[in-house]
Amino acid sequence: MVTGDACSDVRSAKADDADYVRTAFDHCLGRYYDGDHINHANRIIESWSRDGRDTRGLLSVRQKTFVLMVGSRRCGVLNLAIKKQGTCKISPLIVFAEDGRPCPAGSGAALLAVAEREALRTGAHQLYCTVAEKNTDAMDFFRRNGFVASGQAQDQYRRGSTEMVLRRVLRRPSEEPIISVGDQVTDDEWPAVRRFLMEHQNPRVPDSGEDWLDALRAGGYVCRASDRTGRLLAVAVASPKKGGAVKVMPVAAIDQDGFRALVVDLPSLLEKRGHKAFLHLNPDPSQVLSLQAARWELEALLPEAYCVSETAQQWGHSLVLDGEATVRNLRIRREYFELIRSGRKTLEIRVGYDNIKRITPGTDIRLMCDEESLLCRVRDVRRHDSFEKLLADEDIERALPGMAPDEALTRLRRIYPRTKEDLGVYVLELEPRATTG
């Protein structure tokens, strides 16, 4: 349904939609792509008579086409290519009114909701699309709705144009562990951290030993992710390099949630220590997903850089923008992510880690949950000495909707032990950035 319009729905395409689909393809795709868009539409239309089977798409199981109706007028078309490899391609999603009048707000979101529903119904683990970089409205729309840029291709569909590959992972972890990430390792803790690095370092450097790691620690920063029991999940060593960059290597991880937490938090931990962070790694597919979602960018392939049988990858992340800190990433649990996205939760509670203390009114932060993100503007920051003081002074319904104060205190203490509360309690007043589409 399109928000605010009781007479709108998305239905499967029918034979009498054919002319509209041809017109929409030709009018909208021709702005950004070369080729015969009428023929593209005809190929999809032909598949309707074969229950969506595409005889020319060798990796496609079938095509599914939907039309958005607002009253009696057509306002959008969505085509999905269901792939044999368990993915689903949006090809394309178009908001276009056949009568030339404006489409209602939420038209794109209504079509995208159908795309996700159909992809999940077919068992797909990933929804993806390609978008011309110059099509900024579409780029913004997909990014706002949880799509992550996976890469780009020059001259793919039009010479002189860059095509962006965007994807959204559909599977979600069943549990959300509480993971802490920090850059403080005491002398007493270092032997255990060093042993963890020795056993799990990535990339593995031949003949590297304790002396090498001791030297890295002496000249750099050790960042680690651990669970509530203090068990190490992921560790990275960051070393300042000439020119103001910070090199992150080695990286060690035994847990995907710990690795994700580490790469999300690293830019905030390192933001005052250089203008750019880069890491060297031989990532597995799940680690690539986490790097892309946290806005790290693949910069180089380094065959035999550390081991003759491996190709290391260099991933980079800017730490400054126009002389100021970039947008900060903050990890958040699914429950709270959805409440903020819906507008029901406008206050986020944190304890006084250094990266939280540096957040000021007007800062943009990116809330990260699994592979999704939500960009928010910080309207105000308020500090309290304890959770009890916070609950007495703040509107708890704006922070933890539906919870009584005693229940909220129990929830906060389960997330943050007393030692963390002693750092000070901060309330961030958030406003999701305006969205349309």
The whole-number mean pLDDT for each consecutive block of 10 residues of the chain, a chain of 437 residues, reads 56 94 93 91 88 72 92 93 92 92 90 94 92 93 88 90 92 72 91 96 88 94 92 96 93 95 93 92 94 93 91 93 67 91 93 88 88 88 95 94 92 86 94 60
pLDDT of residue 93: 96
Q: pTM for this one?
A: 0.80
Of 57, 95, 54, the residue nearest 76 (C-alpha): 95
Residues 6+ apart with CB under 8 A from 261: 179, 181, 225, 233, 234, 331
pLDDT of residue 1: 43
The answer to whether 395 and 408 are in contact (CB under 8 A) is: no
pLDDT of residue 57: 64
Q: What is residue 176's DSSP assignment? A: -
The answer to whether 428 and 398 are in contact (CB under 8 A) is: no
**Spatial distance between the Cα atoms of 33 and 390, rounded to a whole number of angstroms:** 54
Backbone torsions φ then ψ of 390, nearest 5 degrees: -60, -45
Determine the angle formed by the axes of helices 210-219 and 190-200, rounding to 10 degrees: 120
**Spatial distance between the Cα atoms of 358 and 379, rounded to a whole number of angstroms:** 14
Residues 6+ apart with CB under 8 A from 356: 350, 426
**Spatial distance between the Cα atoms of 172 and 213, rounded to a whole number of angstroms:** 35
